């Protein structure tokens, strides 16, 4: 009934994910491929967590 009062459980994670992707892009543009790959891996882990949370919310 009042679903618009519920907070999005993934909002903070999505902001962190976007920030990581931006950091990775900057590292890639600077030619630091090792840092780019590490940050991209961290972003991928965050995305996996977001998908896990969303699937548990949808199944509830």
pLDDT tens-place string over residues 32-56: 999 999 999 999 999 999 999 999 8
- The pLDDT value recorded for residue 49 is 97
Q: What is the Cα–Cα distance from 10 to 14, expressed in whole angstroms?
A: 6
| Least confident interval from 2-6, 7-11, 27-31, 47-51 | 2-6
Q: pLDDT-derived band of residue 3, with 50, 70 and 90 as boundaries? A: low
Q: pTM for this one?
A: 0.83
Q: What is the Cα–Cα distance from 34 to 55, expressed in whole angstroms?
A: 32
């Amino acid at each position: 009934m009042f679903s618009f009062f519920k907070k999005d459980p993934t909002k903070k994670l999505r902001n962190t994910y976007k920030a990581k992707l931006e950091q990775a892009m900057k590292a890639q543009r600077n030619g630091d491929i090792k840092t780019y790959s590490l940050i991209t891996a961290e972003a991928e882990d965050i995305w996996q967590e977001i998908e896990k949370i969303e699937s548990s919310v949808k199944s509830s």
